[in-house]
Structure 1
Amino acid sequence: MAVTVSLVALFALVLFFLLRHGSLSAGSAFIAAGFGFFLASTGAAAPINQLTNAVLDAVAAL
């Protein structure tokens, strides 16, 4: 749970700076956020979470 909250905060921060510097338009940000919400409700959500956990475990083991 803590990793998920941290990743959400990280992605929100990156998205904020992309919007602020004009690298990403508001429409693109809305589409990206919508895609994330819809992706979370599909069968792909579990494998993505497993992959994220595996990568974070590998980084922690370094």
Structure 2
Amino acid sequence: MAISLSVVVLLAIVLVVMIRSGSIKPGPAIVAALFGFFLASTDMAPSINRFMNSISDMISQISF
């Protein structure tokens, strides 16, 4: 749960920065956010969640 919340916060920050810098307009940003919202309620959501968890596990195993 903490990882998914961190990803949401990170993506929100990136979205705000992109809107403020002008690289994405508010209209397409809203469409992208709504797409993600509705994608979360489809049958693909568990697969996406497993993929993101495997990526975060892989990153956490990298030792510097």
Same fold (TM over 0.5): yes
Corresponding residue number in structure 1 for 2:30: 30
Corresponding residue number in structure 2 for 1:54: 54
Report SS of the residue matched to 2:43.
coil
Q: Note the alpha carbon deviations across 1:19-40, whole angstroms, 9 max, x for none.
A: 0010000100110000001100
Structure 1 residue ranges without an equivalent (≥5): none
Structure 2 residue ranges without an equivalent (≥5): none
Q: Give, in whole Å, the separation in 1 of the partners of 2:7 and 2:56.
A: 11
TM-score in terms of structure 2 length: 0.95
Name the amino acid aligned to 1:40: A
Name the amino acid aligned to 1:5: L
Q: Sequence identity of aligned pairs in percent? A: 45
Over 4 Å off, 4+ runs: none
Q: Number of matched residues?
A: 62
Q: Is the aligned partner of 1:11 residue 2:11?
A: yes
TM-score in terms of structure 1 length: 0.97
If asked which structure has higher relative contact order (CA below 8 Å, sep 6+), I would say 2
Name the amino acid aligned to 1:58: M
